[in-house]
């Protein structure tokens, strides 16, 4: 593993950076799943608001 001063590996840092502030708890293969769930929730809420306003 590539480490600097015993810190997290470079891969972990890149993943954390790509995921933004939530990168720390979204590391690993679950990151993509969480992103998809988050997007699905946003779309569902938007559709619900649109439906209720009509």
Tens digits of residue pLDDT in 4-48:
555 556 666 665 665 565 555 555 666 677 788 899 999 999 999
Going from N- to C-terminal start, the domains of the chain cover: 10-53
Model-level pTM?
0.43
Query: What pLDDT does 3 receive?
Result: 47
Query: What pLDDT does 23 receive?
Result: 53
**What does the DSSP assignment read for the chain?**
---STT---HHHHHHHHHHGGGGGTS-STHHHHHHHHHHHHHHHHHHHHHHHH-
Query: What pLDDT does 33 receive?
Result: 79
CB-based contact 16:23 (threshold 8 Å): yes
For residues 45 and 35, what is the distance between their CA atoms, to the nearest angstrom? 15
């Amino acid at each position: 593993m590539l480490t600097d001063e015993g810190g997290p590996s470079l891969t972990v840092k890149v993943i954390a950076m790509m995921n933004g502030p939530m990168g720390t708890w979204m590391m690993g293969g679950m990151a993509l799943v969480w992103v998809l769930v988050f997007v699905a929730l946003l779309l569902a809420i938007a559709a619900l608001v649109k439906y209720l306003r009509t």
